[in-house]
């Protein structure tokens, strides 16, 4: 039985555990890593690649670039060499009417 099973057992309140320092350290490291991963997942914005955005908006990649230069789309960010557009900012640009689309796609954003 591992520590997680003991902690979540129905009679955890009556169980006494003796644990060595190394196992306790490992438990805290695992728990901290798990918590940090959850925070990272919740805080990280979602992005479209230029090609994904072009496909979604039914235009070409050069059109995406032109719209960005005209200020119709938000400036992209570069992460690990990839040009990415923040989904929330793209959605905002479209809902505010900066970009006029031939086909309604808001439900896909």
Question: For 13-62, how does the pLDDT look when each residue is reduced to its tens digit (9 = 90+)?
Answer: 888 888 889 988 888 888 888 777 777 666 667 899 999 999 988 899 99
The candidate with the shortest Cα–Cα distance to 71, out of 98, 96, 91, is 98
With a cut of 60, say whether residue 108 has pLDDT above it.
Answer: no
Alpha helices for the chain (secondary structure H): 3-7, 21-43, 50-57, 61-69, 87-95
Instruction: Please state the φ and ψ torsions of residue 18, each to the nearest 5 degrees.
Output: -110, 125
Per-residue pLDDT of 1-13, as tens digits, reads 677 788 788 888 8
pLDDT surpasses 80 at 106 = no
Residue 76 — pLDDT band, cuts 50, 70, 90?
very high
Q: Please work out, in degrees rounded to the nearest 5, the angle formed at the alpha carbon of residue 99 by the alpha carbons of 97 and 102.
A: 105
- For the four alpha carbons of 88, 89, 91 and 96, in that order, the dihedral sign comes to positive
Domain spans of the chain? 3-43, 47-108
Q: What is the CATH number of domain 47-108?
A: 1.10.1660
């Amino acid at each position: 039985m591992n520590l997680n099973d003991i902690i979540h057992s129905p009679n955890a309140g009556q169980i006494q555990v003796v644990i060595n320092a190394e196992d306790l350290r490992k438990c805290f490291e695992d728990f901290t890593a798990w918590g940090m991963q959850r925070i990272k997942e919740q805080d990280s914005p979602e992005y479209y690649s230029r090609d994904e955005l072009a496909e979604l908006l039914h235009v070409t990649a050069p059109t995406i670039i032109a719209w960005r230069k005209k200020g119709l789309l938000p400036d992209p960010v570069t992460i690990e060499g990839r040009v990415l557009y923040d989904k929330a900012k793209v959605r905002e640009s479209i809902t505010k009417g900066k970009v006029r689309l031939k086909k309604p796609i808001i439900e896909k954003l």
